[in-house]
Structure 1
Amino acid sequence: MAQHAFSWELYLKAPLVGIIRGLPAEVVSQILPIYQEAGLTTIEITMNTVGVETMIQQAIETTTNGLNIGAGTVCTLEDLDRALEAGAQFIVTPIVNKKVIKACVKRNVPIFPGAFTPTEIYKAWSLGASMVKVYPATSLGPDYIKDIKAPMNQLKLIPTGGISLHNMAAYFKAGADGVGIGSHLFDKTLIQQQNWSGLKEHFQHFVNEMMTGSPAR
Structure 2
Amino acid sequence: MNKQFFSWDAFNEAPVVGIMRGVSMDTIHRIMPIYSKAGLTTIEITMNTEGAAAIIKEMRHVYPNLNVGAGTVCNLDDLFKAVDAGAQFIVTPIVNEDIFTTCKKLNLPLFPGALTPTEIYKAWSLGASAVKVFPCSQFGVGYIKDVLAPLNKIKLLPTGGVDKSNIQAFFKAGAVGVGMGGSLFPKDLLVEGKESELEEHFRSIKVATEAVCEPA
Q: TM bucket by the smaller chain?
A: over 0.9
Quote the residue 1:201 is aligned against.
200
Unaligned runs of at least 5 residues, structure 1: none
TM-score, length of structure 2 as denominator length: 0.96
SS of 1:147's partner is helix
- Deviation of 1:59 (Å): 0.5
SS of 1:84's partner is helix
- Deviation of 1:192 (Å): 2.1
Unaligned runs of at least 5 residues, structure 2: none
Query: What is the rounded CA distance, in whole Å, between the counterparts of 1:102 and 1:157 in structure 2?
Result: 20
SS of 1:192's partner is coil
Query: What is the rounded CA distance, in whole Å, between the counterparts of 1:93 and 1:121 in structure 2?
Result: 13
SS of 2:190's partner is helix
Quote the residue 2:55 is aligned against.
55
1:36-47 alignment runs, 5 A limit: 36-47=36-47
Q: What is the count of residue pairs matched by the alignment?
A: 214
Would you say the 8 A contact 2:17–2:179 is kept in 1? yes
Query: What is the rounded CA distance, in whole Å, between the counterparts of 2:3 and 2:131 in structure 1?
Result: 23
Deviation sequence 1:156-195 (CA, Å, 0-9, x none): 0000001100011110010000000000101101112441
Query: What is the rounded CA distance, in whole Å, between the counterparts of 2:60 and 2:22 in structure 1?
Result: 19
Query: What is the rounded CA distance, in whole Å, between the counterparts of 1:118 and 1:86 in structure 2?
Result: 33
1:1-217 alignment runs, 5 A limit: 4-64=4-64, 66-212=65-211, 214-216=212-214
Q: 1:208 to 1:9 in 2, by over 3 A?
A: same
Identity of aligned residues (%): 52
SS of 1:70's partner is strand
Letter of the 2:57 counterpart:
Q
Deviation sequence 1:13-69 (CA, Å, 0-9, x none): 0000000000111101111111110000000000011111111011010111x2100
Query: What is the rounded CA distance, in whole Å, between the counterparts of 2:206 and 2:10 in structure 1?
Result: 13
Query: What is the rounded CA distance, in whole Å, between the counterparts of 1:51 and 1:82 in structure 2?
Result: 11
Would you say the 8 A contact 1:18–1:43 is kept in 2? yes
Would you say the 8 A contact 2:140–2:161 is kept in 1? no
Q: 4+ runs of 1 displaced by more than 6 Å?
A: none
Deviation sequence 1:176-216 (CA, Å, 0-9, x none): 0000000010110111244112111110010111111x253
Letter of the 1:124 counterpart:
A
TM-score, length of structure 1 as denominator length: 0.96
Query: What is the rounded CA distance, in whole Å, between the counterparts of 1:49 and 1:178 in structure 2?
Result: 23
